[in-house]
Structure 1
Amino acid sequence: MSEPALDLVVEKKETIADGVALLTLRRTDGADLPDWEPGAHVDLVLTGDLTRQYSLCGDPAERALWRIAVLRDPGGRGGSAHVHDVLAEGDTLVVRGPRNHFPLVPAPGYVFVAGGIGITPLLPMLAAADAAGADWRLVYGGRSRSSMAFGDLAEHHPDRAELRPQDETGLLDLAGILDAAGGRAVYCCGPEALIEAVEQECARRDRTVHVERFAQKPAATDGPQDAFEIELAGSGAVVAVPAGRSVIDALDDAGVTVLSSCREGTCGTCETGVLDGVPDHRDSLLTPEEQAANDTMMVCVSRSRSPRLVLDL
C-alpha cells in the first residue's frame, strides 16, 4: 500500500509561542498542493527512519501552501527536536498525505475544547464553522499564555473563543463547559489527560465526542498475543502471524510492504481494508462505531479474533 509523496520546501519557520514552531511549506515545483479539509494531517519524513504526523492548521483555500505547528516535546522520540533544532528555512523534505480521521461533521453548533498544541487541528474547523454560520464556542487551555500558540483567537472572536491559561485560571471546568454545550457537537484535541476527562464527562451525559489523539490510549494494545493467519485477497497468499509479532512485521517478513509511520495505532498510515474475519482492534484512532464495522484495521497494533483475516492487499 502506498500514497503520493511530495517534495516540499520549508519556505518559512517562525516561533509563535514558547516551544512552538510554525512551518510554512510549498511544493518545490510551485504547483498547487492537494485539497484537504479541516482535521487533516500529513506525514513529515524528517529522516530515513524518522516520520511524524502533524495537523494542517492553515486555510484549505490556500492551495499553494500548507502550515503546521510543532510543539517541542522534551520527552518525545526525536521528531519535534528535529523540527526545532535541525530543520531550517530552505530545506526540502518529503511529505505524505493529507489524510483525515478527524473530520468536522455537519452540525448547527459546536463546542471545541483544546489543550496546548491540540489547538492546531481545530483552527480550520473554527473557520469552517464560522463560514457555515454555525453557533460555535472554543475553550482553549494551556500552561500559560506565553505557551499558547494562536492566542489571538480570543481577540478576533471575543464572544466565542476563551483562553484559559492554567497558571491564571486553573484547570478547565469541563463539567460546566459540557453542561452549557446543549445540543452542539463536541470536539476535543490535546494531551491524553484532557481527552480522557472530556470522554468521561461526555459518557456521563450519554453524548458523543470527536477526538484526535497524539499518543496511544492507556492499555490500548494490551490483550492476548495469540497466533493467527492473514490471507492476501489480491494473491490468495497466506501469511502466518506468530504469537507476539505484529501483523505489519509478519507481512514485512513475507515481503509485503504496508506503509506505516507511528507504529502505535494513532496516525492511520497503515489502515488496511478487512474483507473477512474479525479484527481485534487495538488502535487509538477509529471510533467505536468504526471498529464495530470491522471493515478496516490498523495493522501496526491490531490483531485478530478469528483464526484468519482476509485483508485487502
Structure 2
Amino acid sequence: MRVHRLDRIAPQIRLVELRDPEGRGLPPAEPGAHIDLHLPDGAIRSYSLCGDPADRHAYRIAVLNVPGGRGSGFVHGELALGADLIISPPRNNFRFDAAARYLFIAGGIGITPLLPMIRRAAERGADWVLQYCVRNAATAPFLDDLRALPHGRVDLHAADDGRRLAVDELLASTPVDVPVYCCGPQRLMEAVAAAARPGQDVRFEWFTPRPEPGRRDAADDSFEVVCARSAVTVTVPAGTSILDALYAAGVEVDSSCEQGICGTCETTVLEGEPDHRDSVLSDAERAAGKTMMLCVSRARSARLVLDV
C-alpha cells in the first residue's frame, strides 16, 4: 500500500490515506474494522479505519502522537507521502449491527472506529447521538464532518471548558434496547462499563487489555492442547501462553498484539472449556466457548482441541 495523503488534522493527530499503487480496489471494510500496520522495525500496530466504508479504493487511519509510542513515533516522525507500507487486510472485532437508534460515546482519538458507524447510521436514517469527550473543542478531530451528518446530534464535552460527561446519568437514562458503542481512553471505557445496566448492549473497542477484577493470574496450571489439523499435541506449562507453546512445537498461528485486543489469533475451539482473558469477545461469545484468543487465554479444562 502507498501513502496517498498525509495531513495533520489536529496538533497531535495525523490522517494517513493508503491506496493501492496500481489503483486496484481494496478488500471491503465494515464500520468498526481495523488494519495492522507493519513498521520497519518489525513491530505491528493496529489502527481503526475512519474513512468511508463505501470507498473501496482508500483506507484512512488517524494516528495520535503518543510519547514513546513506536507506531505513532513512526507515523509522526518518519512516514512520508508516497511511502510504501505493508498492512494486513481489515479485521473487525467491533461489530456494528442495524438498529433504529444508537448511542455513541467517544473520547479523543476513540472517535476513529465510531465515525464510519455514525456515517452508516445516518445513511440508514437511524436516530443517533454522539457524546464526544475531548480536551479542546477547537482541535476535536472530525467535528465538522460529524455535525454535518443527518438524523442525529453531537454533544461535545470539552475538558478545557469544564464540560465533562456524566456517565452514570447517561447510561441510566438510555433505554436498554438502544445499542451503545464506546471507544476512548481506558478510564472512560471503564466508567461506561461500570455504569451499564443489566441487559444493556454496550460494545467497546479496547486499545489496551480490558481490566477484569477477579480474573485469575496468567501463570495457572498446565494443560494439554491438541491441534486437530496439524496432528500435534502440546503441553502448555504454567506461565506460558498457548501461542508460545504452539510456536515452540512448530505450529504457526497468525498473531499481532499478543495482548488479547486485536483478534488476530482468534481460533476455533473444537473441544474443551477455554478460560477467556481477552478484550475482544462479548460475554455471550465467551459463554458459547466456540473461539478463543491464543495469546492470552488459557483452559478451564485439562484438555483443549483447537482447529489449527
The answer to whether TM tops 0.5 is yes
Deviation by residue 1:226-247 (Cα, 9 ceiling, x = unmatched):
1111111113220111111111
Query: How does the TM-score come out when normalised to structure 1?
Result: 0.92
Amino acid at match of 2:75: V
Structure 1 Cα separation of the partners of residues 305 and 138 of structure 2: 51
Partner of 2:294: 299
The one of 15, 19, 33 equivalent to 1:26 is 19
- Indicate yes or no: 2:214 matched with 1:231: no
Deviation at 1:181, TM superposition (A): 2.6
- Indicate yes or no: 2:240 matched with 1:248: no
Is the Cα–Cα contact under 8 Å of residues 153 and 161 in structure 1 kept in the other structure?
A: no
Structure 1 Cα separation of the partners of residues 127 and 189 of structure 2: 22
* Residue correspondence of structure 1 range 60-75 to structure 2 within 5 A: 60-75=53-68
Query: How does the TM-score come out when normalised to structure 2?
Result: 0.94
With over 3 angstroms needed to count, the CA separation of the structure-2 counterparts of 1:195 and 1:103, relative to structure 1, is: same
* Higher deviation after alignment, 235-244 or 251-260: 235-244
Is the Cα–Cα contact under 8 Å of residues 234 and 246 in structure 2 kept in the other structure?
A: yes
Partner of 1:201: 195
Deviation at 1:48, TM superposition (A): 4.7
Structure 2 Cα separation of the partners of residues 293 and 176 of structure 1: 32
Is the Cα–Cα contact under 8 Å of residues 117 and 190 in structure 1 kept in the other structure?
A: yes
* Higher deviation after alignment, 147-156 or 260-269: 147-156
* Higher deviation after alignment, 164-173 or 299-308: 164-173
- Indicate yes or no: 2:145 matched with 1:150: no
Would you say how many aligned residue pairs link Structure 1 and Structure 2? 304
Structure 1 Cα separation of the partners of residues 6 and 33 of structure 2: 21
Partner of 2:31: 38
* Residue correspondence of structure 1 range 103-118 to structure 2 within 5 A: 103-118=95-110
- Indicate yes or no: 2:82 matched with 1:87: no
Deviation at 1:106, TM superposition (A): 1.4
Structure 2 Cα separation of the partners of residues 250 and 34 of structure 1: 32
Any idea what SS the aligned residue of 2:117 has? helix
Deviation by residue 1:165-203 (Cα, 9 ceiling, x = unmatched):
111133211233224433421111111111111111113
Any idea what SS the aligned residue of 2:196 has? helix
Structure 2 Cα separation of the partners of residues 105 and 222 of structure 1: 34
Amino acid at match of 1:129: A
Deviation by residue 1:244-282 (Cα, 9 ceiling, x = unmatched):
111111111111111111110000011111101111111
Partner of 1:187: 181
Amino acid at match of 1:211: F
Partner of 2:131: 139
Amino acid at match of 1:255: G
Partner of 2:46: 53
Structure 2 Cα separation of the partners of residues 156 and 106 of structure 1: 21
Any idea what SS the aligned residue of 1:229 has? strand
- Indicate yes or no: 2:252 matched with 1:257: yes
The one of 265, 280, 290 equivalent to 1:270 is 265
Partner of 1:5: none
Name the Cα RMSD after superposition.
1.7
Any idea what SS the aligned residue of 1:152 has? helix
Unaligned runs of 5+ residues in structure 1 are 1-7
Unaligned runs of 5+ residues in structure 2 are none
Any idea what SS the aligned residue of 2:25 has? coil
With over 3 angstroms needed to count, the CA separation of the structure-2 counterparts of 1:221 and 1:171, relative to structure 1, is: farther
Deviation by residue 1:15-36 (Cα, 9 ceiling, x = unmatched):
0012101000001221000011
